[in-house]
């Protein structure tokens, strides 16, 4: 049985149990209250409460997963659109470059080719893993960084083929950390650099995401993965890194943060599957 079917089955069973139990509790509870031990009556109430908590937990877990899947699908659609647009433009670019070469306008041809080559390389850098959702996410963040005048340097030294975490959860982890870096860098007036390095060792996959943004104070660094803690000035933050730590903990991985005046770095470790 798939995880989706199992969750649906558990949700159905608990909903039925809650409805039947509630009907019994309300319908005949008052009649039996004086005839049976009060603890039996309270036990029924506790059972109903337990069923309700289970229903809410399963619902929000399913909803959370669906949100992550929708984000991954959207990123994949955007990547597909980018690739189709590039393919459509290739012929026109080659025709222009060929014409300039025929006219011996070599310097003009180079100037024309530079931005085209950068655009091609930007997509190529994001297509190096065996996880389409991760590739799409990296491509999306490359574009976001560019819009915010941030130089994003991406180095992929692993295909992530045997990573022991669901793709949508990995995307949630990476997206939260990358977005935090982009937000921090957006406050700078100087050069803005964001680095993403993906590698592996014998047992784990490693992700290093670092930037030259403002230093995170040491007292905040120690608490940054706790619920409700944030370094952002705006209200309503403080869940992103808590969710990151929670997802990685459940996957058997870890996340660490270090920050000084020159560099703020998040290091993520995710184990490989047992093969």
CATH of domain 129-275: 3.30.565.10
Q: Which of 28-42, 52-66, 148-162 has the highest mean pLDDT?
A: 148-162
Per domain, the residue ranges of the chain are 3-65, 129-275
**The two structure tokens encoding residue 159:** 């295909």
**The two structure tokens encoding residue 76:** 């994949």
Q: Give yes or no for residue 184 having a pLDDT over 50.
A: yes
This prediction has a pTM of 0.61
Q: Which residue has the higher pLDDT, 58 or 158?
A: 158
User: 73-77, 162-166, 217-221: lowest mean pLDDT where?
Assistant: 73-77
Q: Which residue has the higher pLDDT, 197 or 28?
A: 197
**The two structure tokens encoding residue 33:** 């209250």
Q: Which residue has the higher pLDDT, 114 or 150?
A: 150
**Tokens 């004086």 identify what position?**
34
> Where does the pLDDT of residue 17 fall: very low under 50, low under 70, confident under 90, or very high at 90 and above?
low
Candidates 253, 167, 155; CA nearest to 203 is 253
**Tokens 């180095």 identify what position?**
155
Q: Give yes or no for residue 204 having a pLDDT over 90.
A: yes
- pLDDT at res. 164: 92
Q: Give yes or no for residue 76 having a pLDDT over 80.
A: no
Q: Give yes or no for residue 1 having a pLDDT over 50.
A: no
């Amino acid at each position: 049985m798939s995880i989706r079917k199992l969750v649906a089955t558990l949700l159905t069973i608990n909903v039925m149990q809650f409805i039947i139990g509630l009907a019994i509790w309300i319908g005949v509870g008052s009649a039996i209250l004086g005839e049976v031990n009060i603890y039996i009556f309270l036990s029924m109430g506790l059972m109903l409460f337990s069923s309700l908590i289970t229903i809410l937990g399963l619902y929000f877990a399913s909803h959370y997963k669906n949100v992550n899947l929708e984000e991954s699908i959207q990123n994949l659609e955007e990547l597909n659109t980018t690739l189709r647009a590039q393919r459509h433009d290739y012929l026109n670019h080659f025709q222009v470059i060929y014409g300039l070469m025929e006219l011996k306008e070599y310097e003009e041809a180079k100037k024309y080719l530079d931005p085209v080559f950068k655009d091609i390389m930007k997509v190529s850098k994001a297509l190096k893993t065996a996880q389409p959702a991760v590739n799409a996410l990296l491509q999306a963040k490359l574009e976001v960084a560019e819009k915010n005048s941030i130089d994003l340097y991406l180095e992929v030294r692993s295909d992530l083929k045997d990573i022991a975490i669901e793709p949508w959860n990995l995307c949630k982890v990476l997206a939260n950390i990358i977005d935090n870096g982009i937000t921090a860098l957006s406050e700078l007036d100087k050069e803005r650099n964001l680095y993403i390095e993906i590698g592996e060792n014998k047992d784990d996959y490693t992700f290093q995401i670092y930037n030259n943004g403002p230093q995170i104070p040491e007292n905040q660094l120690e608490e940054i993965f706790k619920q409700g803690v944030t370094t952002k000035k705006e209200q309503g933050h403080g869940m992103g890194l808590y969710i990151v730590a929670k997802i990685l903990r459940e996957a058997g991985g870890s996340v660490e943060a270090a920050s000084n005046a020159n560099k703020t770095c998040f290091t993520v470790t995710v184990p490989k599957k047992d093969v």
